[in-house]
Amino acid sequence: MILRWLLGLLGLFHLINGFWMLLAPESWYAAVPGVPLEGPFNHHFIGDIGFAFIASGAGMMVALRAGKTAATLALAGATWPTLHACFHVWEWITDGLPGDMQILVSTGIGVIVISFLGFALAWMRAKQEGVV
C-alpha cells in the first residue's frame, strides 16, 4: 500500500508540474531554479514537456489502484521522466557537470533523483503484480 501511495505522490508531482508548465509557462520558467540558465524561454517547448509530464503523472497516479493494469500504467507513466533524466545524465557524462550549482541541484534532484525513484517504485509495483 505504501508503494502505491508513493507512486501516487510522484504522479501528483508530475501532474502539478505539467499543468503549471501549460497554464503559466512564464511563471514556471522563472520559478524553477536553474531553468533560465539553460536557455531562453520557449513557450512551445515548455508546453510539449508539460503534456508529457501530465501523461506521465496520470499513469503513475493510476498506481493507487490495485491490479496488473494499474501497475502497467504506472510503469508506462514512469518511463518518460526516466528517459528525460537519462538524457540529462548523458549530457553530464559527455559535457561535464554543470558549472552552476542551481542547475546541478535542480537537475540532480528535481529531474534525475525524482525520475529514477519513480521508475524504481513503478518497477517494484509491477513486480508485485507479476507484470515483470
The 10s digit of each residue's pLDDT in 20-56 is 999 999 999 999 998 999 899 999 999 999 999 999 9
Instruction: Give the separation between CA 104 and CA 86, rounded to whole angstroms.
Output: 15
- Count of structural domains, the chain: 1
The whole domain housing 57 covers 2-128
pTM: 0.91
pLDDT for residue 25: 98
The 10s digit of each residue's pLDDT in 48-103 is 999 999 999 999 999 899 999 999 999 999 999 999 999 999 999 999 999 999 99
Confidence of residue 1 (pLDDT cuts 50, 70, 90): confident
pLDDT for residue 125: 95
Q: What is the DSSP string of 10-57?
A: HHHHHHHHHHHHHH-HHHHHHHSTTHHHHS---HHHHHHHHHHHHHHH
